[in-house]
Amino acid sequence: MARVIIFALRNVDLDSIPFHSTKNATELTLSPPQQIYIGATARAAIKQAADEHDMSVNLLMIDILTAFFRVLKRDKKLRDELKIHLRATRGLPIED
């Protein structure tokens, strides 16, 4: 999953994603949402973008993956590039 997210971050224009502020309720004491483990590199990149756009990390990750898979459905070249990338890095540790 981390490799797909890192690949998506490189291939999705963050400015094309409609951002909605989700950090408005500061008075509420809510527990942090559970997140899947995606690796330090992917989490740091998403966290930086989320802080820049005042969004939650979870919502931004969902928006990025939604936009990426929308583009991936239409672009055969991008699908092939992702397959090659995943095959080339299979079994290797994710770069941190």
- What confidence score (pLDDT) does residue 26 get? 46
What pLDDT digit, counting tens, does each position of 49-94 carry? 888 877 877 788 888 888 899 899 999 999 989 888 888 877 766 5
Q: How many CB atoms lie within 10 A of CB 55?
A: 20
End-to-end CA distance of the chain: 15
Q: Which of 2, 16, 3 is nearest to 66 (CA)?
A: 16
Its pTM stands at: 0.69
Residue pLDDT, tens place only, 10-33: 888 877 777 655 554 444 444 555
Three-point CA angle 58, 78, 60, nearest 5°: 10
Backbone φ/ψ region at 20: left (φ over 0), alpha (ψ -120 to 50), beta: beta
